[in-house]
Each structure stands twice: as structure tokens, then as C-alpha cells.
Amino acid sequence: MATFFNFPPVFSALPSRTHHHIHSSQTPPPPPPPQSSSTTGNDNQEILQVSTKSQQQKSIKPTKIESTDWIATSLTRRFGLGAGLAWVGFLAFGVISEQIKTRFEVSQQQANTRTVDKEQEVLLPNGIRYTELKVGGGASPKPGDLVVIDIVGRVEDSGQVFVDTTEKKPLALVMGSRPYSKGVCEGIEYVLRTMKAGGKRRVIVPPSLGFGESGADFGTTEIPPLATLDYIVEVERVSIAPA
């Protein structure tokens, strides 16, 4: 009867539909979608950033150590930063103390220096004559001390000037050293032993303690043989000679 009206059999399609559902139910689940290249790139960037940060953290440590290297000395490296700073403080204290001491000595020298009211010539056994113009208030030079002086020297008979430091820088000499500075003779060194810093004298030196029988030639001026010398000497400073 079903074939008479040209309809397909109703029950003939059921097995195929059932087979289709069974086939679709047995189909395996689709595989997970592959990771995109952008996700992989982001992971690589994160790994790179982490490794870069770790390298930066490792490189920071030497920088912190080197940042204190400008303070370090051999003592600092051996005993630590505290000992190094203590040593620096000790040196600074020594410099400041020396400056204070120098200023104190200069002030005492100036306070104790006085001008002579009545000039009087003194004759020494070796023939040197001197007149005190100003009594110094500082230290007296000892052998080996550095003495800074202003000096004017003339030949007594002619009045010719052979040395003058008043308009130039003063002379510095070490007591007991040879040869003498230009214009200085044995008689001047002898007189300096009894002078003090800040003192000033007029000194007459005989030929035996001056330049003797040979005289002296200073280029621009000559001192004749057996000349008596007339000096004005002022002691500016007496200190320990540098080693």
C-alpha cells in the first residue's frame, strides 16, 4: 500500500538515521586548537624579561661594591671601611691641629715682638757688631731648622747693594747648611742663632766672616776683597725643615 502512493517506506529510513547517530556519537572529539604564535611569542618575551631582570640584579651587586672604592685605601681594604674613615679623620685632625698651632705661634710671635726704644750697638768677640732694631717674639733657630729672612746687604765703604729681598720673595736657608744663599755669609748665620722670629737687626760683618780676601762676584755686583759688609736682617719665620 505504501508503494502504491509512491512514498518511501517509513521504516526503511529509521535504520540509516539510527546508524547516523551512532556514527556521530563515535566520532572522536576535535583536537585542541593549536596555540597561536602570538601566545608563544608572549611567553618567550616573559622568559626573556625574567632572565634580563636576573642578570640586572646580578650586575647591581658589583656596582654597589665599586661605589665605595673611592674611599678605600690599602688600610681600608685590609681593616674595613671603619678603620679607613678613622685614619682619614686622624689625618684631618692632625692637619687642623697643626694649622691651629701655627696660627697660635704666629699670634704669640706678633704679640711678643716689640720695637727697641733705644738702639745700642753690641760688639761680639769675633768682631761682629749688631744693633737690635726689633726684638722677636717667636722661636730661635736651631741647627737644621728652616729660617725665612728678609735681607739687605751693602758694601760698607761704597754703599753698593749686593742683595735685597725686600721687594722680592724672602730667602730661605737651613741653619748649618752649605753653600749659603746668594748674599748670605758665615757672619749672618752666626747672628741668626741669637735672633728670634719677628726680630730685626743691623749687622756689621768683618771680612773674616764675610767673603774674605777673595771677595765675591754675583754677576751684577762684585764685592771687593777684604770688604766689610753692612746688613739689615729680619727673621720672618722659623720652622722645622722638610725631610
Q: What is the pLDDT of residue 67?
A: 46
CA–CA gap between residue 68 and residue 84 (Å, rounded): 12
Whether residue 155 is found in the same domain as residue 75: no
- For residue 191, give every residue at least 6 positions away whose Cβ sits within 8 Å of its Cβ, in sequence order, or none: 128, 130, 201, 203, 233
Q: What is the pLDDT at residue 128?
A: 97
pLDDT of residue 79: 57
Q: pLDDT tens, 89-136?
A: 655 555 554 455 556 566 665 666 778 788 899 999 999 999 999 998
Query: Looking at the domain assignment, is residue 198 inside a domain?
Result: yes
Q: Do 101 and 130 have their domain in common? A: no
Is 223 in the same domain as 196?
yes
- Indicate the DSSP class of residue 128: -
Q: All 3 cell numbers of residue 179?
A: 753653600
Q: Are residues 142 and 74 in the same domain?
A: no
Which of 154, 134, 166, 124 lies closest to 230, judged by CA?
154
Number of domains present in the structure of the chain:
2
**Other C-beta atoms within 10 Å of 124: how many?**
13
Looking at the fold, whether 101 and 134 belong to one and the same domain comes out as no
The per-residue pLDDT for 74 is 57
Q: Residue 51 is inside which H or E element, if any?
A: helix 37-66
Residue 168 has pLDDT above 60, yes or no: yes
For residue 82, what pLDDT is reported? Answer: 62
On whether both 136 and 215 belong to a single domain, the answer is yes
200-228 average pLDDT score: 94
Task: Give the domain range for residue 213.
Answer: 114-240
Per-residue pLDDT at 170 exceeds 80: yes
Query: Highest mean pLDDT range out of 8-17, 53-62, 169-178?
Result: 169-178
Q: Are residues 107 and 133 in the same domain?
A: no
- Verify that 145 and 206 share a domain, yes or no: yes
224 pLDDT above the threshold of 70: yes
Q: Is 215 inside any structural domain?
A: yes
| Spatial separation of the C-alpha atoms in residues 207 and 228, rounded to whole Å | 5
> Would you say residue 233 has pLDDT above 60?
yes
Question: Domain with 226 in it: what CATH number?
Answer: 3.10.50.40
Indicate the Cα dihedral angle 77, 82, 86, 88, nearest 10°: 50
In the chain, the amino acid numbered 105 is E
